[in-house]
């Protein structure tokens, strides 16, 4: 039987598949609408299985807040062309609305919810059939607080949500903080919430860096005292290059290396522990100021921190949680 354009449009509305795919499915089923829908669903599963090992590096990230709940959904695909497609963005919005309405806590919970008799997981698989690309929920984040805000950066690749400890916080104030999270990528709300293993790692790195700097200073001082320019002998490559250029003799190079080795060993064995700890602690404090949201300099006014900005708007106001999803970051 001949397939009418009305049936093709109806099937397209039901499945969002391409016109050609809808026409072929209806021809294959002799106009049976339900059977055609099933064919398109199976096609999506087949494409999804075939492209399972492909990387979905592009996608659409959107955030939304409602009441005291906020969420971010990242729907991923293979190309930016598909990510910007109106239907793909619409599906991301649909999943986000569903998550908000049900106050979903995890991606797995979201995948299990149903829309028009199909689970979200099934809808995502079907999207692969429509686009011909691997499609997956790449990230899901949510939070609850007295006041919440969502921010979507231009291009739908970066979104943030932030929660505050007081109700009825001014929208512009909340948006300012959400944009701060987007721009400065803090690791935690405050230093107390930085994971212990990260603090330990930063401290250990700071200790090693401080030791290396102290040893380097001692070596440079010893070389200068011996009449040797430290910049000429700071690496094996430089030494060989400078000998070739005639800026350094082999004897001078050998002497410099002997001085550097002896000085470095002596200095490393006698580094003042208290001084090293003090300098390392200072470096960790700098890390906190750069990486903790409440201690970061406010991007719109570097004279104040985010904590000071919030306090100036409402006494006792603080951010209590935030989430950030950025598809352009590893």
pLDDT tens, residue by residue, 248-281: 999 989 999 999 999 999 999 999 999 999 999 9
27 Cβ neighbours under 8 A, 6+ residues apart = 3
Residue 216 vs residues 231, 278, 282: alpha-carbon distances, Å: 12, 18, 20
Residue 117 vs residues 113, 123, 257: alpha-carbon distances, Å: 9, 10, 75
pLDDT on residue 127? 86
Render pLDDT for 93-139 as a digit per residue (tens, 0 to 9).
Answer: 999 999 999 999 999 999 999 988 889 998 898 888 778 888 999 99
- End-to-end CA distance of the chain, in Å? 52
Q: What's the gap between Cα 290 and its chain centre? A: 17
Q: Taken in order 199, 201, 202, 206, is the CA torsion positive or negative?
A: positive
Which structural domains are found in the chain, ordered by start? Answer: 5-50 (1.10.8.10), 58-190+318-326 (3.30.479.20), 196-288 (no CATH)
Number of residues written out for the chain: 330
Which of these, 19, 14, 10, lies nearest to 41 by C-alpha position? 14
Alpha helices (runs of H) in 16-133, residue ranges in sequence order: 19-28, 33-50, 80-83, 86-102, 107-112, 120-131
pLDDT on residue 14? 60
* pLDDT tens across the length of the chain (330 residues): 566 777 666 656 666 566 677 677 667 777 676 676 666 666 654 444 445 556 778 999 999 999 999 999 999 999 999 999 999 999 999 999 999 999 999 999 999 999 888 899 988 988 887 788 889 999 999 999 999 999 999 999 999 999 999 999 999 999 999 999 999 999 999 999 999 999 999 999 999 999 999 999 999 999 999 999 999 998 899 899 999 999 999 998 999 999 999 999 999 999 999 999 999 999 999 999 999 999 999 999 999 999 999 999 999 999 999 999 999 874
Asked if 166 contacts 146 with a C-beta cutoff of 8 angstroms, the reply is yes
pLDDT on residue 290? 95
Asked if 205 contacts 229 with a C-beta cutoff of 8 angstroms, the reply is no
DSSP count for the chain of H helices, then E strands? 13, 10
| Cα–Cα distance measured from residue 165 to residue 82, given in angstroms and rounded to the nearest whole number | 39
pLDDT on residue 45? 43
- Residue/partner pairs of 229-234 with CB below 8 Å, 24 or more apart: 232/256, 233/257, 233/260
pLDDT on residue 46? 45
pLDDT on residue 39? 64
């Amino acid at each position: 039987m001949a397939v009418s354009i009305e049936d093709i449009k109806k099937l397209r509305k039901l499945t969002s598949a391409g016109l050609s795919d809808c026409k072929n499915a209806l021809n294959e089923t002799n106009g049976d609408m339900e059977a055609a829908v099933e064919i398109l669903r199976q096609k999506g599963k087949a494409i999804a299985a075939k492209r399972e090992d492909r990387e979905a590096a592009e996608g659409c990230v959107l955030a939304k807040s409602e009441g005291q709940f906020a969420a971010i959904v990242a729907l991923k695909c293979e190309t930016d062309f598909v990510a910007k497609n109106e239907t793909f963005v619409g599906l991301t919005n649909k999943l986000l609305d569903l998550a908000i309405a049900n106050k979903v806590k995890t991606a797995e919970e979201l995948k299990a919810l149903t829309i028009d008799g199909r689970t979200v997981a099934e809808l995502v698989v079907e999207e692969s059939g429509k686009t011909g690309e691997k499609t997956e929920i790449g990230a899901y984040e949510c939070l609850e607080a007295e006041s919440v805000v969502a921010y979507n950066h231009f291009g739908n690749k970066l979104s943030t949500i932030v929660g505050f400890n007081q109700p009825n916080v001014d929208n512009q104030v909340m948006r300012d903080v959400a944009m701060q999270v987007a721009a400065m990528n803090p690791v935690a709300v405050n230093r107390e919430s930085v994971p212990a293993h990260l603090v330990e790692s930063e401290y250990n790195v700071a200790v090693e860096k401080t030791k290396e700097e102290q040893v380097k200073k001692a070596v440079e001082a010893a070389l200068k005292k011996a009449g040797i320019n430290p910049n000429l002998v700071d690496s094996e490559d430089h030494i060989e290059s400078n000998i070739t250029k005639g800026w350094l003799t082999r004897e001078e190079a050998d002497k410099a290396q002997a001085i550097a080795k002896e000085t470095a060993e002596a200095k490393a064995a006698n580094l003042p522990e208290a001084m090293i700890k003090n300098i390392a602690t200072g470096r960790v404090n700098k890390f906190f100021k750069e990486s903790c949201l409440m201690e970061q300099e406010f991007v719109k006014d570097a004279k104040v921190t985010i904590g000071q900005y919030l306090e100036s708007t409402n006494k006792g106001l603080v951010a209590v949680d935030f989430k950030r999803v950025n598809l352009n970051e590893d």
